[in-house]
Chains A and B, each alone.
Chain A
Amino acid sequence: MLEVTGLTMTFGGLDALKNVYLTINPREIHGLIGPNGSGKTTLINVITGFYNPTKGDIKFKDADITGSAPYNIAKKGMVRTFQNINLFAEMTVFDNTITGHFFRVSPSLPSVIFRTLPYRQKEIRTHELAKDVLNFVGLYDDRELKARNLPYGKQRVLEIARALMTFPEFLVLDEPVAGMNDQESDKVSELIRKLRDERNITVLLIEHHMRFVMNLCEKLTVLNAGAVIARGLPREIQNNQEVIDVYLGTGRKKNVEN
């Protein structure tokens, strides 16, 4: 589904990404881990079109998307969430969710002004979809609240809800459970698994919560200082000495379930 080859990203004198190779298969839940500053978010920004790579290619569904604009990549089915929550703060939860479906409807200006029948029908359908998605993620009761008034954990879930409204094939989640306790992160874990099982969505996620990562992800890629230092199954990664040295640490093994 996603193939990254030889990706290098240089900012001024700094090599944020060095010759990164990454392959993600359909219906995979893939984790991207590594210490802070290792280039995880940069990699995501490049893949989703927010940066243009200095070198290398990105192929999504066998089509080259290197250098495409983020909205074009989203239209092709790859949608991302942000590390620093990027909701429409002044809008309600419900309105935030609706925007996610907009590009699938893309009404023309005259149809909006004259409220044509097809336009009204599409708006009704979008509203129905939004209700379904909000119910699915458990935010339906909060739908009239302003996004900025939601507690942090729910804001993160709302971003996922908004992304779901695009009917994505590939979700890229940047720290979806940051700041959440075990209970909340377990719910998100369940949600992501459901998305893959019921809606065939492939997932790439960045996370630091090892329990969450090791339980959910089927394959891992580990980055350090812009380069891939390991890739494989969670069990292998946990036992990889280099990964332990730069990131996991020896204490970690006790907290991670097998």
Chain B
Amino acid sequence: MKTKSSGLLICIVLAVLVIAISFDRYITFLATLSAINAIAVLGIVVISGYTGQLNLGQSAFVGIGAYTVAIMGLKYGFSFWVAIPVAAGVTGFFGILMGIPALKLKGGPYLALVTQTFGEIIYLAIMNLEDFTGGPFGMLGIEYPKIGSFTFSGLKSYFYLCIVFLVICYFVCRRIVDSSLGLVFTGIRESEDAEQSIGINTMYYKIMAFAIAAVLGGIAGILYAPFIGYISPDQFRWSPSLLLVSMAIVGGINSLRGGILGAFVLTFLPEMLRLTDQYRLILYGLLVIAMLALLPDGLISLYGKSWSEVRNMLSTRIRALRSRKITQTR
């Protein structure tokens, strides 16, 4: 169990963040967005990293979470806090639905197709249920959460709110993956046949992993809706799903901390470089290719290594690439 060292790392990172946001509203904005993305990326790490099921439909769950909060707040007057368990339940349910066709599929391309199509169906549903969701016009004016008389409407206070959620989600995921249940998920990735031979119903646990990923996406959506204030169906289509997966790959798809790192890197970097939309996509693409080629375990795999170790890792990898000996990306 690595909980002790990750605890220290988290404290350091949080301290850095807290200091950084006091300087600049823009940084606070980006940091909050990063935290929200990070929660969704944690879901990707669980389903695609540990369980090995490629998921290109994660932003659909972010959308479901966002719309649940928006509809419950604007149409029925429920508070943000009441919407949380409801959104978790709804996204969990749809996560299970996404998992079912994926059960018999073996292989990235098929999963990519099924999960992306599922995301597209959700998008179309949101678009077409106009009375419920406002259709293509979206929903505006989602309220900030309140505790008593205090409203989280300030940029800094909302940042702290999101960080709290992120930390809670991280520790819940940490407990899941560091347990024998986490081993079951990894076993599905490594060898489903072997898992079946030792009495484990891999289908049940695959669906569980999809549901967990979906709920995490939903929580990100719950935080996203009041933050941006306006939600529309096209914010939750396949493009942001690709971005979330890219964040996981860049940070380290098999690591919870890697996922969070990737979310921050890919939220800040394009902004810092002042890139426009098309150039952003090129950046993400290049980074993902570079990562898969050189650092398949993501940026987080550099953590704790000395320069010479890093140099060794890279040169071994480059040599292997040159001699074309690699048949998998890991």
Q: Interface of A with B (CB < 8 Å)?
A: 48-50, 69-71, 74-75, 79-82, 86-91, 95, 98-100, 102-105, 107, 109, 112-113, 115, 123, 126, 162-163, 165-166
Which residues of B are found within 8 Å of A123, using beta-carbon distances? Answer: 179-180
Which residues of A are found within 8 Å of B186, using beta-carbon distances? Answer: 88, 90-91
- A105→B196 CA distance, assembly (Å): 15
Which residues of A are found within 8 Å of B212, using beta-carbon distances? Answer: 109
**Most chain A CB inside 10 Å of its own CB: which residue of B195, B198, B200:** B198
Out of A48, A87, A109, name the residue touching B194 (CB < 8 Å): A87
Q: Which residue of A lies closest to B174 (CB)?
A: A113
- A86→B184 CA distance, assembly (Å): 15
From known contacts A95-B183, A99-B183, infer whether A80 and B190 are also in contact, taking CB-CB under 8 Å: no
From known contacts A88-B190, A107-B179, A113-B172, infer whether A99 and B197 are also in contact, taking CB-CB under 8 Å: no
Q: Are B179 and A112 in contact (CB under 8 A)?
A: yes
Out of A50, A74, A87, A89, name the residue touching B199 (CB < 8 Å): A74
- A165→B194 CA distance, assembly (Å): 13
B residues 191-210 with Cβ under 8 Å of A?
A: 191, 193-202, 208
Q: Are A103 and B181 in contact (CB under 8 A)?
A: no
Out of A82, A99, A103, A115, name the residue touching B193 (CB < 8 Å): A82
Q: Which residue of A lies closest to B201 (CB)?
A: A71
**Most chain A CB inside 10 Å of its own CB: which residue of B176, B179, B186:** B179
From known contacts A86-B191, A102-B184, infer whether A48 and B197 are also in contact, taking CB-CB under 8 Å: yes
Q: Interface of B with A (CB < 8 Å)?
A: 172, 175-176, 179-181, 183-184, 186-187, 190-191, 193-202, 208, 212
Q: Are A162 and B191 in contact (CB under 8 A)?
A: no
Q: Which residue of B lies closest to A107 (CB)?
A: B181
Q: Which residue of B lies closest to A120 (CB)?
A: B179
Q: Are A113 and B175 in contact (CB under 8 A)?
A: yes
Q: Are B175 and A100 in contact (CB under 8 A)?
A: no
- A105→B186 CA distance, assembly (Å): 17
Distance in Å: Cβ of A99 to nearest Cβ of chain B: 5
Distance in Å: Cβ of B9 to nearest Cβ of chain A: 21
Which residues of B are found within 8 Å of A99, using beta-carbon distances? Answer: 180, 183-184, 187, 195, 198, 200
15 residue pairs A–B, Cβ–Cβ below 8 Å: A71-B200, A88-B194, A98-B180, A99-B195, A99-B198, A99-B200, A103-B198, A103-B200, A104-B199, A107-B180, A107-B181, A109-B176, A112-B179, A112-B181, A123-B180
Q: Beyond the given A50-B196, A99-B184, please list 19 additional residue pairs across the A-B interface where CB-CB is below 8 A.
A: A71-B195, A71-B199, A74-B199, A82-B194, A86-B193, A89-B190, A90-B186, A91-B190, A98-B180, A99-B187, A99-B198, A104-B199, A107-B180, A107-B181, A109-B208, A112-B175, A115-B175, A123-B179, A126-B180
Q: Which residue of B lies closest to A49 (CB)?
A: B196
Q: Are A79 and B198 in contact (CB under 8 A)?
A: yes
Interchain residue pairs A-B with the least CB separation, the first 4: A103-B199, A74-B199, A70-B196, A88-B190
Which residues of B are found within 8 Å of A69, using beta-carbon distances? Answer: 196, 201
- A74→B199 CA distance, assembly (Å): 5
From known contacts A87-B194, A88-B186, infer whether A102 and B176 are also in contact, taking CB-CB under 8 Å: no
Which residues of A are found within 8 Å of B208, using beta-carbon distances? Answer: 109
From known contacts A87-B191, A88-B190, A113-B176, infer whether A74 and B196 are also in contact, taking CB-CB under 8 Å: yes
Q: Are A166 and B180 in contact (CB under 8 A)?
A: no
Q: Are B176 and A71 in contact (CB under 8 A)?
A: no
Q: Are A86 and B199 in contact (CB under 8 A)?
A: no
Q: Are B180 and A82 in contact (CB under 8 A)?
A: no
- A185→B316 CA distance, assembly (Å): 36
Q: Which residue of B lies closest to A50 (CB)?
A: B193
Q: Which residue of B lies closest to A95 (CB)?
A: B183
Distance in Å: Cβ of B295 to nearest Cβ of chain A: 17
Q: Which residue of B lies closest to A102 (CB)?
A: B180
Distance in Å: Cβ of B155 to nearest Cβ of chain A: 31
Which residues of A are found within 8 Å of B193, using beta-carbon distances? Answer: 50, 70, 82, 86
Q: Are A82 and B197 in contact (CB under 8 A)?
A: yes
Distance in Å: Cβ of A91 to nearest Cβ of chain B: 6
Distance in Å: Cβ of A39 to nearest Cβ of chain B: 19
- A87→B172 CA distance, assembly (Å): 28
Which residues of B are found within 8 Å of A126, using beta-carbon distances? Answer: 180
Distance in Å: Cβ of A102 to nearest Cβ of chain B: 5
Which residues of A are found within 8 Å of B187, using beta-carbon distances? Answer: 88, 91, 99
- A113→B175 CA distance, assembly (Å): 6
